[in-house]
Structures are given as structure tokens and as C-alpha cells.
Amino acid sequence: MGNPMKIRAASKDGVTEVKVLMSHEMETGLRKDASGNAIPAWFIAELSAKLNDKPVMTAQWGPSISKNPFLSFKIKGGKAGDKVAVTWTDNKGDSRTDEAVVT
């Protein structure tokens, strides 16, 4: 279970813009530690977003996404008080879901 995500969701002119900041190492598997041993890959592989429990977007990521990933996307519709939920699953099977209320 990773650290909480920061999610902001704001509705404007019928479009809800969602900004997500995740806390994850996003290790590529190509780097080596001080003693020369390869650091195993560890990254968010799958991601899904829901508006009021309805899936709106999914994503697959590779290790090329930056450490502590940022994601921004726009949902058609959505109004103040609606719930946006984002779930990620990393390549080790760890997973985390966080929610935010649309403002």
C-alpha cells in the first residue's frame, strides 16, 4: 500500500479536469545501486479512473513514466459533489485507490 495520492477535480463549463499526483518510485530496473547490483523494476503498470463508480478511463504505464507520476485528464460532464476515484496497481501487485470530490 503506497502513500496517498493527491487528487484535485474541478468542474468548469461542463468539463471536469482531474489532476492526480501519485507517490511511487517508478524504478526502471536499469539502474544499479552503489555496490553495482541492479535495482529491480518497480513501477505503476495499470491505472483506472472512475466518475461516480463508473469507469471512464484506464491506462497502462511502463517504467518511462517519471517518479511520483503526475496525470491530468478531462471528463465530459461531472458536477460539484460528484466523486472521482483513481486506482493504480504496480508491477509487484501493490495497489491503491483514492477519491476526491469534484469542486
Partner 1 sequence: MTTQPLNRRGFLTRVAALGLTTALGTTLAPHLARAEWNKAAFDGKSSAEAFKALGVSATAESADVQILASDIAENGAVVPVQAVSKIPGTTRISVLVEKNPSTLAAVFDIGPDVVPDVTTRIKMGQTSNVTVLVEADGKYFTATKEIKVTLGGCGG
Kindly list the residues in this chain that would bind partner 1 in the complex (CB under 8 A).
Answer: 15, 26, 28, 30-32, 45-46, 48-49, 51, 54-67, 69-77, 91
Least distance (Å) between residue 48 CB and partner 1: 8
Task: Tell me which H or E stretch contains 16.
Answer: strand 15-21
CB nearer partner 1, residue 28 or residue 83: 28
Least distance (Å) between residue 92 CB and partner 1: 13
Q: Name residue, grid cell 541492479.
A: 38
CB nearer partner 1, residue 46 or residue 98: 46
- Where b means 16+ CB within 10 Å and e means fewer, 34-69 reads eeeeeeebbbbbebebbbeeeebeeeebebebeeeb
Least distance (Å) between residue 49 CB and partner 1: 8
Q: How far apart are CA 92 and CA 79, in angstroms?
A: 35
